[in-house]
Structure 1
Amino acid sequence: MSETKNSRFPIYAVIFTVAFKLLFLLTHYIQEDAFITWRVAQNLLDYGVIGFNGETKISASTTHLYVFVSYFFNLIFGKEHFIVPILLFNSILFTIGTLFLSHLVLKKGWQKAVFIFLIGILPPAIKISILGMEYGILFSLEMALLYYGFNKGKKWAFIFLPALIMFTRIDTVIFLGIAFLVDLFWNKKIRWSYVFGGVLGVSLTMAFNWLYFGELVNNTITAKKLLYEQAFTFQQSLHYFLVSFGNFWGMLKVPGEFNPVTIIVLIFELLCFIYLVRQRQSRNYFLWIIFVFGWTKQIIFISQKSLFDWYYWVPQLLLFVPVVIFVLEQKEKRKLWLSLLIIFYILPMFAFQTIHSIATGNGEWNYRRTIGIFLNQYEKDKNQWILLEPAGYVPYFSGLKTIDEVGLVDKQIQAEIKKDKANYWINTVKTRKPKYLLSYKNLYEGNTADAFYYQTHYRLLKEFRVKDHLKSDNKILEKIYKLKPSGTDYNLYIRID
């Protein structure tokens, strides 16, 4: 009876962890890019087209699979009520992914249960669960591939899961490739069913992009590369790496160029990994897969100067897995090790993420969302255009057609970037004549031709300021808002001719 109860501990841990993290829904911290995906899903619902602005096809979202999942959640729950259900769905899937992972690296039920909870309340895990991004689905699919494919040897997993993983995000080819290479090195043979699944995944994703959008890779990748690409010297690249390393390799993102916490944690992760693989257990196979993938993904994305922190969530968690295993498997002074881990790392990280979620949720939901709501009430003609950045909250809640600075949701601006990168914003305003401009800057400032054009053709409609949203009846919340103000000041302009 106790054996059966012990085996159920991981399931109980999944339920408890999901329920515990639901408290973070109260912070209203939802990532800007989630609203891009959800608007694409609603565009599919309204126009039958995967796009962002009516009947124009564009892969504005990074993820195809999550677009379709979001579409069904909108269909079932309605546009007004789907957000909480889909966030719950993401959290459940992610936590099931940690369940699969626990089965691969631990033996005892109580160890798996503690592992699921401790991993589940780390900052990246909280963000994966409740920020509305596609990583809950992605993490569960990747861990299911390791569990059912490489652990259980199920051919269906090798054939179908790579296709679903690739259809979620095209950059998951890194994960699939690392798993293949480690498996080949470990078993000295090729799993042809996995090769077939990988080829199928790449082929289906690129075929879908080509046949539907007329492109091989998602527009989001093309747009970011076009706008952000710069020529760096070796010294500049090295400096960039060191600056980025401090913030993105670990779980604690802090201002400045040096993050000592990251260095300490990274060294401890390496030491724990070396300690575990020296034991020569069968699980080493999976430790090598997740650890090599974590390092590879981090290095590739930092080297490509990718600053968006969601690229690093899954690697951050996987690199930390050996630390939790090491602590849970201590035979002597286990309670001391576990207490030290919880008191000096887990709880501070959890507290940090709680404060971050409350502050950022205020800046996004209580501030940036209000801009979209204001425009939704002010402008009844939803065929009017707005030029802005970013393309998440404001377009979603305003319902207006959108040109974003990067070109994620509108390809025409990419043509302006190619023609004249330095002046593409003003050139777009002159050629497209959007009714609304939302800018970080005062467009009237300076004695330039651009400023004169804005003064002549646009009127300042409303100023939006972060400082106006740092108040709360709850004094603790108000202190958090002021401790970490989140958001950007905006000026909203309306065309007058």
Structure 2
Amino acid sequence: MSETQYRKLPIYAVIFAILIKFVFFLTHHIQEDAFITWRVAQNLMDYGVIGFNGETKISASTTHLYVFVSYIFNMIFGKEGFIIPLLAFNSILFSIGSVLLSHLLFKNNWHKAVFIILFGILPPSIKISILGMEYGILFFLEMALLYYGFKKEKKWVLLVFPTLILFTRIDTVIFLGVIFLTDIFWNKKIRWNYVLGGIVGVAVCISFNWFYFGEWVNNTIVAKKLTYDRTFTFQQNLEYFRLNYGNFWGMLKMPSDFNPATIIIVVFEILCFIYLVRQQNKRNYFLWIIFLFAWTKQIIFLSQKSLFDWYYWVPQVLLFVPVLIFVLEQKTKKNLWLTSLVIFYILPMTAFQTIHSIATGNGEWNYRRSIGLFLNQYEKDKKQWILLEPAGYVPYFSGLKTIDEVGLVDKQIQEEIKKDKPNYWLNTVKSRKPKYLLSNKDLFEDKNADYYKSEYRLLKEFRIKDHLESKNPVLEKIYTLKPSGTDYNLYERRKK
């Protein structure tokens, strides 16, 4: 059969990959921060303001574009029914992005089809698709820019897509910058349409932040830098790197300092990349872009001590691309290479992600959401305030006004951090007098226990051990094997 007769194989492959993602919806594994974005979208619906607490403007979400997309899905499907359609939308966009990536890398439709499936079931690909974050949209936009802008050379794409990408996440300036530098080095010329697109994108994002929020960058960036600011010595930085590198350059988080699996993966990725770029092939241009971007982003974010694993999802899957190409294009013993990859890496990783998603979904959807649902029933006055961390599930499902410890959704606590960081939590309680406190510590055993006892009463204890049971024995074993969640104490302000 000729190659043209296989032209529909990538389409079948992407449908199969999407259906696999849909099965993961049953795990209810949704990232905490997704609910921040979704509450911002609903705040825009209810108050006409991009914010988190009523009419107060604040860029509580990292992504502006995804807020507007979430807003549209809320308008269409309603607050009770938008989540699954939005997750499906994210999964479909990621899968379309993987198709565009396959077009950049392969000519053979069989290779494209197998690539789409294997690439789509890697753990970071599953998380990008199902966890409700903006990375499905982002991956699609980035791959569309490469395919339509730099392969098909559509000038309008070079002008428009940088703005959409930056409006999704401002840190994508790294991706756009790597493309710009690689393109100059490769083609020995400047694409002025792309330069103009980048300038317009930066101007639009900065202008929107300034004129709407009165700030140059998103509040989320300012809040995290303020709260998580750390000054390390050179030796401490080395130790920090040693303890954390394995969680980001590999696809499997291991509870140990030494992660040999990560070293093997990274070395193999580099060797495959070197092998491929030594060949005379036009796709090397795109291989250089995705490989340099992946390494650059991980190095920058790890150097800034950014521990949130979603920053590393896209780099993780892109770094693995050379491995998939290398295996699929083997001239001899291809079946052995492919079978070995699937049996010893792809399937174990997918199985691990399945267990991880089931356990985490239980800890977040079944457990943490229950705290919000309890408060939603208990407190009918949604103008009451709660101080807690993090600001995802509990505020979303309780509907209460929220002060989070980091200051993502409330700027006033940032002022307390600036004034007296060691005591900012207590000072916020004294000055703001929130009706509810949710803490992973026993405040009645705190050094300021006398104050807490005089002003608050323990309303309810929430314990993860109470959510490890299931009628399904397999699920119960998974919940027990990998308990996910934090014990909390909920305090209510005493009536005076």
Which letter maps to 1:488? Answer: T
- Cα separation, 2, equivalents of 1:239 and 1:321: 29
Root-mean-square deviation (CA), in Å? Answer: 0.7
Q: SS of the counterpart of 2:320?
A: helix
Work out the CA distance in 2 between the residues paired with 1:465 and 1:121.
Answer: 33
Between the aligned partners of 2:431 and 2:439, the Cα distance in structure 1 is 18
Q: How far apart, CA to CA, are the structure 2 residues paired with 1:258 and 1:105?
A: 34
Shift of 1:238: 1.2
**Structure 1 residue identity aligned to 2:470:** S
How far does residue 11 in structure 1 lie from its aligned partner after superposition?
1.1
Cα offset, 1:5, TM superposition: 3.3
Superposed, 1:453-468 pairs within 5 Å as 453-468=451-466
Matches within 5 A, 1:10-409: 10-409=10-409
**Equivalent residues of 2:384, 2:435 under 8 A apart:** yes
Structure 2 Cα separation of the partners of residues 158 and 80 of structure 1: 38
SS of alignment partner, residue 310 of structure 2 = helix
Task: Confirm or deny: 8 A CA contact 2:123 2:353 kept in the other structure.
Answer: yes
Q: Provide the rounded CA distance (Å) in 2 between the counterparts of 1:350 and 1:28.
A: 16
Structure 1: distance between partners of 2:309 and 2:457: 36
| Alignment partners' CA distance in 1, 2:438 and 2:164 | 37
**In structure 1, distance between residues paired with 2:256 and 2:492:** 37
What is the count of residue pairs matched by the alignment?
495
Aligned-residue offset at 1:230: 1.4
**What secondary structure does 1:431 align onto?**
helix
Q: Distance in 1 between matches of 2:206 and 2:136?
A: 23
Q: Within the alignment, does 1:488 sit opposite 2:486 as a pair?
A: yes
Counterparts of 2:187 and 2:201, CA distance in 1:
23
- Counterpart of 2:450 in structure 1 is 452
Summarize deviations over 1:353-393 as a string: whole Å, max 9, x none: 00000000000000000000000000000000000000000
* Cα separation, 2, equivalents of 1:290 and 1:102: 13
1:476-496, CA deviations, whole angstroms, 9 ceiling, x for partnerless residues? 000000000000000000000
| Deviation, structure 1 residue 3 | 3.7
- CA drift of 1:72 comes to 0.1
Aligned equivalents of 1:75 and 1:125: distance in 2? 28
Segments of 5+ residues of structure 2 without an aligned counterpart are: none
Worse overlay, 161-170 or 3-12: 3-12
Q: Deviations over 1:148-185 (max 9, x none)?
A: 01111110110000000000000000000000000000
2:94–2:136 Cα contact (<8 Å) kept:
yes
Distance 1:268 1:84 in 2: 37
* One-letter amino acid of the structure 2 residue matched with residue 168 of structure 1: T
Secondary structure, aligned partner of 1:472? coil
Give, in whole Å, the separation in 2 of the partners of 1:220 and 1:434: 22
Query: CA offset at residue 331 of structure 1?
Result: 1.1
SS in 2 for 1:444: helix
C-alpha separation in 1, matches of 2:45 and 2:12: 37
Q: Deviations over 1:264-323 (max 9, x none)?
A: 000000000000001120000000000000100000000000000000000000000000
Per-residue deviation, 1:253: 1.0
Shift of 1:145: 0.4
Give the C-alpha shift of residue 244 in structure 1. 1.4
Where 1:386 maps in the other structure, the secondary structure is: strand
Write out per-residue CA displacement over residues 213-241 of structure 1, whole angstroms, 9 at most, x where no aligned residue: 00010000000000000111000011111
Structure 1 position 2, deviation (Å)? 4.9
CA distance in 2, matches of 1:359, 1:20: 18
CA positional deviation for 1:4: 3.6
Contact 2:3 2:108 in 1 (8 A): no
Paired AA for residue 346 in structure 1: I
The 2-side partners of 1:247 and 1:442 are apart by 30
Using structure 1 for the length normalisation, give the TM-score: 0.99
Matches within 5 A, 1:427-442: 427-442=427-442
For the residues of structure 2 that align with 1:434 and 1:2, how far apart are their CA atoms? 70
Percent identity for Structure 1 against Structure 2: 76
Deviation at 1:16, TM superposition (A): 1.2
List runs of 5+ in structure 1 lacking aligned partners: none
CA distance in structure 2 between the partners assigned to 1:280 and 1:207 by the alignment: 44
Equivalent pair of 2:174/2:293 in contact (CA under 8 Å): yes
Letter in 1 for 2:412: Q
* Structure 2 counterpart of 1:459, one-letter code: R
Give the Cα–Cα distance (whole angstroms) in 1 for the partners of residues 244 and 304 of structure 2: 11
- Partner of 1:413, secondary structure, is helix
- Answer yes or no: is the 8 Å Cα contact 2:458–2:490 preserved in 1: yes
Report the Cα distance in structure 1 between the residues aligned to 2:274 and 2:419, rounded to whole angstroms: 52
